Amino acid sequence: MSISIEKTSEQLVQKAVVACQGIAGSNSETACRTLFAEPDIMFFKSFEAVFSAVEKGLCKYGILPIENSTHGSVTGVYDLMRKHSFGIVKAVKISIAHCLLGVEGTKLSGIKEVLSHEQAIGQCSEFLKNHPDIKVTVCANTAVAARTVAESGRDDLAAICSEQCAEIYGLKTLTKNIQDAQYNCTRFICISAQPVVYDGSDKVSLICSLPHKPNALYGLLATFADYNIDGEKVNLTKIESRPIPGTDFEFVFYIDFETKLSDDKLAMLLGDLEIYTPNLEVLGIYSESSDITE
Amino acid sequence: MSISIEKTSEQLVQKAVVACQGIAGSNSETACRTLFAEPDIMFFKSFEAVFSAVEKGLCKYGILPIENSTHGSVTGVYDLMRKHSFGIVKAVKISIAHCLLGVEGTKLSGIKEVLSHEQAIGQCSEFLKNHPDIKVTVCANTAVAARTVAESGRDDLAAICSEQCAEIYGLKTLTKNIQDAQYNCTRFICISAQPVVYDGSDKVSLICSLPHKPNALYGLLATFADYNIDGEKVNLTKIESRPIPGTDFEFVFYIDFETKLSDDKLAMLLGDLEIYTPNLEVLGIYSESSDITE
C-alpha cells in the first residue's frame, strides 16, 4: 500500500442524515447534536445497523460510542469495525451523567427491577451493589430502558438513563448522578462510507494484527518512536486488543495516536508501520472535540 | 523494590478449600476441578467475594475467569485486581461449549426469554441475533441461569449454560454448541493470599500505570526487547488496558508474558521495568495448564 494523505478544507456536512443507535434521548443523539447543527437523525436498533446504514449509503454519517472513562471500551463496536467498510471522520467526547427514572408515584425504596444498557449498568456498579435486591435487566439502549419503563406503568421498575429522557418519556427523576465516578465521559466516533480527512485532523486510528512472535508489538512501537525524536510528534493514546473468534487467543490490535507530523511524514510513518503489520488498515484521520469544560 | 524470585518444589495443595463464583455447574467449578483433585469448593455470589474470601483467609485458593477467546477479557475481574491483595499461583485454559436448556416440555420455538451471564451472552451473539424476538436477561452466572429456569417451571424460558447443568438442575437440552466460534475457551487464574512461585512457572503477570507521555509504553516494551536478544526468552502474550475511573482516560496496564529467563535474569528484568513504571506490581509468576487437546 502506498499511502497519501489529502486533507479537504470542507467541513462535516451539517444538514446530513446521521445514523444513531437507540431512540430519542440516547447518548448517541447527544453526541450527534454536539457535532451537527441540524442533523436529520435516523435511529437504528443495533450498532451493526448503524455501520450498515452508512456502508450502504442510507445515511451519510453514523455515530458510535467506542470508549467510556469508567467502564472502558465498547467492545461490541470494536468487533464490528473489523467487519465493515467505513472511515472515521470525526470524534467527540461527551460527559455522561446517569439518573434513575420511574413513572409518577415510584419510590426508590419500592424498586424491584432496573433496566439499562450494559455499559450504563457497568458505570453504575457501585449504586447497584448497594441495592443488591434490585434485579438488573439489560436492554439495547438507555433510552429504550426509559421508554419501556414509561410504557409499563409499573411503579417497581426504573431505568438508568440520561435526565433528558425524563421529559421525552414523561418520567420522574428518582435520583441523579448514580455513576461510579463523577468524571464520567464517553468518546464517540463519527463514520462515513468513504474516508475523508478534514483540515485540523490530528488523530489517527489503525487496526492491525501482529504475528504471534516475541517483539512483534515492540517492533511496531519502535517505528512510532523513530518518528518521535523530539518526543512530541507522536503520542500513542490507546491500544486495544480484541480476540479473533475461533482462534487460540490471537488478537487484532486497535491503535490510536495523536500526531503533529506533517502529512508527508505521517504518510511515511504509516508506510513504515506496514513493515511490521502487512495487514495494517487506517480506520481514519480525524480531529476530536469535546463538550467538557475542563 | 528489590525483586528476588524463590521457587518452591511444593505443588498446589490438592485438598484445599477453593472459592468459586456462582453455584454448582458453573464454568469456574469446571476450571477448579481441572486444577484440584479433591477441592472443597465454596461458592460465592460475586467475583469480588472470591477475592475477599482468599484475602481474608476463608479460602486457601480462588478461581477467577479472566479471558475468553471469543468475547475477550473479563473486565470486571481485571478491575478487581487493582483493589485486592493476592498472588496468581496457577492458570488453566478450558474449552467452553454453551447449550440452551429448558424445563421438560419446552420447545425452542416457544422461548420468549433467555437467561445467562453477560460473557456467555456475548459468546452466543450470533445465535441471539438470529432469534431477535427472544428477550435476553443477564444474571450473575450461567449456572444461576439454569437454576432459575428450573425453579420457574416456565416453558417459555431457557438458560445458556454448560451441558452439565442439565443433570444438576433436571433440565432438558434444547440445542448444543450455540457459541459463535466452535473453538471457544476461557482462561482462569488461581489466586492465593500470598504469592507463591511453584516449580515450572514460566508466565508472569504485571500491573502498572504509565505516565501520559509519548513513548512511555515503547520504553517499557524496549526493556523486554533488551532481555530478548535471541528472540525466544520473553514473549509478550497480552496487554490489557483499563481506564482509571474518575480520570480523563488514564489507564492501568496489565501485561502477561511467557519467559524462558533464569530466575536471576527474570528478577533483573522486573527490576529494570520499574525504571519506566515506578508503581509496577507483580501479580504472579505461575504456569498455565489446559484441558484442550490440540
Each residue's pLDDT, cut to its tens digit, for chain B (294 residues) gives: 556 788 888 888 888 999 999 889 889 999 999 999 999 999 998 899 999 999 999 999 999 999 999 889 999 999 999 999 999 999 999 999 999 999 999 999 999 999 998 889 988 999 999 999 999 988 878 999 999 999 999 999 999 999 989 999 999 999 999 999 888 899 999 999 999 999 999 999 999 988 777 677 888 888 888 887 666 788 888 888 898 888 888 889 999 999 999 999 999 999 999 887 878 999 999 999 998 764
pLDDT at A294: 47
**A293 has a chain B CB within 8 A of its CB:** no
**A75 has a chain B CB within 8 A of its CB:** yes
Please spell the DSSP secondary structure of A7-26, one letter per residue: EES----TT-EEEEESSTT-
Flag if A69 and B249 touch (Cβ within 8 Å). Answer: yes
This model of the complex carries an ipTM of 0.80
Q: Do domains A99-175 and A198-290 have the same CATH topology?
A: no
**B242 has a chain A CB within 8 A of its CB:** yes
Q: What predicted TM-score, i.e. pTM, was given to this entire model?
A: 0.86
Q: Are strands B251-259 and B203-209 parallel, antiparallel or unpaired?
A: antiparallel
Flag if B183 and A247 touch (Cβ within 8 Å). Answer: yes
**A241 has a chain B CB within 8 A of its CB:** yes
Amino acid symbol at A185: C
Please spell the DSSP secondary structure of B169-223, one letter per residue: HT-EEEES--SSSSS-EEEEEEEESS--EETT--EEEEEEE--SSTTHHHHHHHH
- List, as ranges, residues 76-95 from A with C-beta within 8 Å of B: 76
More confident residue, A69 or A3: A69
Nearest CA in chain B to A292: B248
- Rounded Cα distance between A276 and A226, Å, is 14
Instruction: Quick: pLDDT tens for A217-264.
Output: 888 888 888 887 666 788 888 888 898 888 888 889 999 999 999 999
The CATH topology of domain A15-95+185-196 is D-Maltodextrin-Binding Protein; domain 2 (3.40.190)
Instruction: Quick: pLDDT tens for A133-159.
Output: 999 988 878 999 999 999 999 999 999
- Rounded Cα distance between A211 and A278, Å, is 10
Instruction: Quick: pLDDT tens for B192-250.
Output: 999 999 999 999 999 998 877 767 788 888 888 888 766 678 888 888 889 888 888 88
Which of B80, B178, B184, B221 to probe by mutation at the A interface, max A CB count within 10 Å?
A: B221
Superfamily for B14-95+185-196? Answer: Periplasmic binding protein-like II (3.40.190.10)
Amino acid symbol at B124: C
Please tell me the class of the B198-290 domain.
alpha beta
- Rounded Cα distance between A103 and A157, Å, is 8
Question: How many contacts, defined by CB atoms under 8 Å, are there between A and B?
Answer: 129
* Gyration radius of chain A over CA positions: 21
Query: Distance (Å) from the C-alpha of residue A82 to the closest C-alpha of chain B?
Result: 14
Residues whose CB is less than 8 angstroms from the CB of residue B137 and which lie 6 or more positions away in sequence, other chains included: A137, A138, B113, B114, B115
Sketch the domain layout of chain A as residue ranges: 15-95+185-196, 99-175, 198-290
Q: Are strands A113-116 and A157-161 parallel, antiparallel or unpaired?
A: parallel
Please tell me the class of the B99-175 domain.
alpha beta
Q: What is the dihedral of CA A210, A216, A222, A227, to 10 degrees?
A: -20
- At B239 the three-state DSSP class reads strand
Average pLDDT, chain B: 90
Angstrom distances, CA of residue B77 to CA of B21, B82, B116: 11, 9, 18
**A205 has a chain B CB within 8 A of its CB:** no
Give A234's contacts in chain B (Cβ within 8 Å). Answer: 214
**A57 has a chain B CB within 8 A of its CB:** no
**B185 has a chain A CB within 8 A of its CB:** yes
